[in-house]
Structure 1
Amino acid sequence: MSFAEGAAALAGEGPLWRRLRNMIMRKLGIATGLGILILSTGFLLASSTNFLSAADCGNVPAPGLDWSKCSKTNIMLQSSDLHGANLAGAHFDSTDLSDADLTSANLDKATLVRAWLKNAKADGANFKKIEAYRSDFSNASLNGASFANAELQRAEFDSAQLANADFQKAELGRADFNKAVLSDVNFSFANLSRATLSGAVIKGQISLSGAFMYLTRIEGLDLSNAAGLQQAQLNLACGDNSTKLPSWLKAPAVWPCPPDDPDDKD
C-alpha cells in the first residue's frame, strides 16, 4: 500500500477503509439480526401462551373443560354440561347454573355468592372451600359431594339429595335443609347456628360430632341415630316434643324455642 493509500485509510477514505467498514457492518448486522430474531421468537411464544390461557376462559361449556380461575359472573349457564370440568378458583357470583351437569366437577375454592344451582346434577362434585353465601342448591343432586370448609351462610338446600355429602367444618349459619334427604351426611365441627334442619328426611346416620348448634332448628327431626351428638349441643338447639333423640340424651326444659324473628333473616 502506498503512502497515499495509507493516509486515505486513516482519514476514512479509500478502498481499504471501505472494505474494513463493510466487514464490520456485516458482522454487526448478523449479530443484530440474530438478537432481533431471538427477541421476536420469545415475544411470540409468550404471546401465544397468554392467548391459550385466555382462550380456555372463552371456551363454551363442555365436559372436562378447564375454567380454573376464570371469571364467569352474572351470566346464564342453565343446563350447561360441565361434567368433570376443572372450575377450581373460578368466579360464578350471581350466575345461573340451574339444571347444569356438574357431576364430578372440581370447584375447589370457587366463588358462588348468590349463584343458582337449582336442579343441578353435582354428584361427587368438589365444593371444598367455596364461598357460596345465599346460593341456591334447592332440589339439586349432591350425593357424595364435598362441602368441607365451605362458606355456605344462608344457602338453600331445600329438597336436595345429600347422601354421603361432607360438610365438615363448613359455615352453615342460617342454611335451610327443609325437605332435604340427609343420608350418612357428615356435619362434624360444622357451624350450624340458626340453620334449619326441621323438615329434613334423615336416612342412615348423620354425624354431628363437634358441630356448633346454637338455635339450630331440629323440631320433628329423628336424631336417634345421630353420631357424636352431645347434651351440650341440644341445650343450645331448638327442638320440640316430636324431636327424637338417642336414649342417653334428654330434651332441654327450654324447648320449644320461640320462632325466628323474620327481621333477623335479611
Structure 2
Amino acid sequence: MPVGSIGFGNALRYLGCHGVTESECGMSVSMEVVMEVSAPVKRRSAFLAACMLTGCTILPLGPALAADCGSTAAPGLDWTDCTKRNIMIPGSELEGAKLFSTDFASTDLSNSNLKSANLEKATLVRASLAGAAAEKANFSKVEAYRSNFTGISAEGANFASAELQRSGFAKAKLTGANFEKAELGRADFDDAILTGVRFSLANLSRADLSHATFEGPIIFDHAFMYLTRIEGLDLSAAQGLEQGQIELACGDAKTKLPAGLNPPSGWPCPPDDRDN
C-alpha cells in the first residue's frame, strides 16, 4: 500500500510518529519506496490520511507570530504595521524592536532607546525623536516630514531613501550615518556632527549644513545641492563634490573647497526664508 511517493513508515516519521511501528499501528503496509513522485498535494494528503489511521498527533506549523500591537514598549518587541500615532511614549525602551512600517505620526518618542531598532518604512511625520539613542538603527525609507531629530544619537544609523524634508537634526550625532538617496530638502543640521556621513544621491536642496561640525570627509557624490547652505564649512576633504554642485550651492569666503573646485561668482547667497 504505497503512500504518495514514499513508504508508509517514512510517512510516519515525517509526521512525527517516531518509534511507532507498523504492527503497533495495527496495519500491514509495504515499505517499498515508489520511485515515481506524485504531486505535492497528493503526498500531503497521503501523509494526513496515514496519520489519522494510526492516531498520530499532527503538530501544525501555523503562521508566523503576528505583531503584538497591544503590548507596551519593551526591547525587541514587534510592532510591525501597528498604529501608534498621536501618543506620548517618551523614554521608551525599544532597543532592537521590530518597527517596520509602524505609524508613529505626531508621536512623542523623545529620549527613547531605539538602538539597532528596525524602523524601515515607518511613518514619523511630525514625530519627535529628540534626544533619542538610535545608534545603528534602520530608518531607511521612513516618511518623516517635519520631524524632530534634535540631539538624536544616531551614529551608524541608516537613513537611505528616507523622506526627511524640513526635519530638524540640530545637535544630532550622526557620525557614519547613511543618507544615500534621502530627501532632505530644507533639513536643518545646525551644530550636528556629520563626520563620515554619506549624502550620495541625496536631495539636499535648501538644506542647512552651515553650522555642522565634522572631522574627515563627507561624501557628496551626485547629491543635488540647489541652494544648500555650506557657508563657513571646510569641505577641502569632501568626497564626490563637483563644480556643478558648487555652482548651485550657497557658500561664502570662508567656505573651503576641494582642490580643483572654485567658488562661483554668485557667492554669498541672500538669506534663506526658512518659512517658504
TM-score by length of 1: 0.79
Structure 1 equivalent of residue 59 of structure 2 = none
Q: Deviations over 1:54-104 (max 9, x none)?
A: 7x1000000000000000000011000000000000000000000000000
Structure 1, unpaired ranges of 5+: 1-47
Confirm whether residue 242 of structure 1 aligns to residue 248 of structure 2.
no
Runs of 4+ deviating beyond 6 Å: none
Question: What is residue 214 of structure 2 aligned with on the other side?
Answer: 202
CA distance in 2: counterparts of 1:246 and 1:71, whole angstroms: 46
Identify the match of residue 243 of structure 2 among 210, 224, 231.
231
CA distance in 2, matches of 1:225, 1:262: 29
Decide which structure has greater helix share: 1
One-letter amino acid matched to 1:77: I
Equivalent pairs, count:
215
CA distance in 2, matches of 1:246, 1:168: 21
Residue equivalent to 1:214? 226
1:116 maps to a residue whose letter is S
Render the CA deviation track for 1:129-170: whole Å, top value 9, x for unaligned.
Answer: 000000000101000000000000001000000011000000
Give the superposition deviation at 1:186: 0.2
CA distance in 2, matches of 1:122, 1:53: 25
Aligned to 1:117: 129
In structure 1, the partner of 2:91 is 79
State the percentage of identical aligned residues: 60
Aligned to 2:149: 137
Corresponding letter in the other structure for 2:71:
N
Matches within 5 A, 1:45-84: 53=66, 56-84=68-96
Matched residue SS, 2:69: helix
CA-CA distance at 1:262 after TM superposition: 4.5
**Structure 1 residue identity aligned to 2:161:** N
CA distance in 1, matches of 2:85, 2:218: 34
**Deviation of the 1:53 alpha carbon:** 3.9
8 Å CA contact retained: 2:186, 2:274: no
Residue 239 to residue 79, structure 1, CA distance change in 2 (3 Å): same
- Rg larger in 1 or in 2? 1
Counterpart code for 2:180? Q
Q: CA RMSD in A?
A: 1.5
Unaligned 5+ segments in structure 2 are: 1-61
